Structure 1
Amino acid sequence: MKFTFAHNNFNVIDLEKSVNFYKEALGLEEIRRKKASDGSFELVFMGDGTTGHQLELTWLRDWEKDNYNLGDNEFHLAFVTDDIDDAHKKHDEMGCICFENKAMGIYFINDPDNYWIEIVPAK
């Protein structure tokens, strides 16, 4: 028996704002979209065009809160970049850098729903 990664899911408050953030910040593209026939949810699967891994953004119509409880936010996605300096500059201009570890050469950005994404330089 073998298992392979398919996708990760983040629930989001404003689907289009999140889709646009992931396009601008990380260059992800929409792969497919699924809308419930009753309008209760909408899913957008985004990919990097290189790997098969996808990020599923889920919008729930009946979610009545302004945000999701992310606890201590100790979980995150990680992306490798071939140009950490340009990536850092772009994310700094976007105002989305939320934590830096200069000793390790990494930093984190946060999306519109405050999910953290680690940015790691290619080795």
Structure 2
Amino acid sequence: MNFKFYHNNFNVLDLQRSLDFYSEALGLTEVRRKEQPGFILVFLGDGGRTPHTLELTWLKDRTQPYNLGENEFHLAFTVDDYQAAYEKHKKMGCICYENPTMGIYFISDPDGYWLEILPEKR
């Protein structure tokens, strides 16, 4: 029996705002969508560089931000031009934590989820 990663899920309060953020900040694009009366699922991909997707779940009747606890979880992304990514995210104002010693930083999405950014080659 072999298991492999398929997707991660984040629940979002404002679907369009999240789609815009992930497109601008990370270049993720919609690969599929499932719409039901009470919710919409949107799967974002990285242009085929990996098969992994990020599922954004928008619940129609949700009005309160999600409680992320102490936010001790994150997704990690590698980038081929770390410095350019850093400058872009700094300009966007979404960097929430930096660790220059480790050569990484984190950005925060509109719902407060943390995303780790690290150079492609380590």
Q: Does 1:106 align with 2:104?
A: yes
Q: Which amino acid aligns with 1:2?
A: N
Partner residue, 2:30: 30
Partner residue, 1:72: 70
Q: What is the TM-score of this pair, normalised by structure 1?
A: 0.95
Aligned equivalents of 2:94, 2:120: Cα separation in 1: 21
Q: Does 1:115 align with 2:110?
A: no
Aligned residue pairs, count: 120
Partner residue, 2:19: 19
Q: Which amino acid aligns with 1:9?
A: N
Q: Which amino acid aligns with 2:55?
A: E
Aligned equivalents of 1:100, 1:75: Cα separation in 2: 16
Q: What is the TM-score of this pair, normalised by structure 2?
A: 0.96
Q: Which amino acid aligns with 1:20?
A: D
Partner residue, 1:55: 54
Verify the 8 A CA contact 2:95 2:108 in the aligned structure 1.
yes
Aligned equivalents of 2:13, 2:63: Cα separation in 1: 10
Kindly report the root-mean-square deviation, in angstroms, between the aligned alpha carbons of the 2 structures.
Answer: 0.7
Q: Which amino acid aligns with 2:84?
A: D
For structure 1, which runs of at least 5 residues remain unmatched after alignment?
Answer: none
Query: Where in structure 1 do 4 or more consecutive aligned residues deviate above 4 Å?
Result: none
Aligned equivalents of 1:104, 1:75: Cα separation in 2: 18
> Identity, % of aligned pairs?
64
Cα deviation for residue 62 of structure 1 reads 2.2
Aligned equivalents of 2:111, 2:101: Cα separation in 1: 27
Superposed CA deviations along residues 57-99 of structure 1, whole A, max 9, x for unmatched, are 000012241x101011010000000111000000000000000
Q: Which amino acid aligns with 2:7?
A: H
Q: What secondary structure sits across from 1:17 in the alignment? A: helix
Q: What secondary structure sits across from 1:86 in the alignment? A: helix
Q: Which amino acid aligns with 2:4?
A: T
Superposed CA deviations along residues 17-56 of structure 1, whole A, max 9, x for unmatched, are 10110000000010011100xx200010000011000000
Q: Which amino acid aligns with 2:53?
A: Q
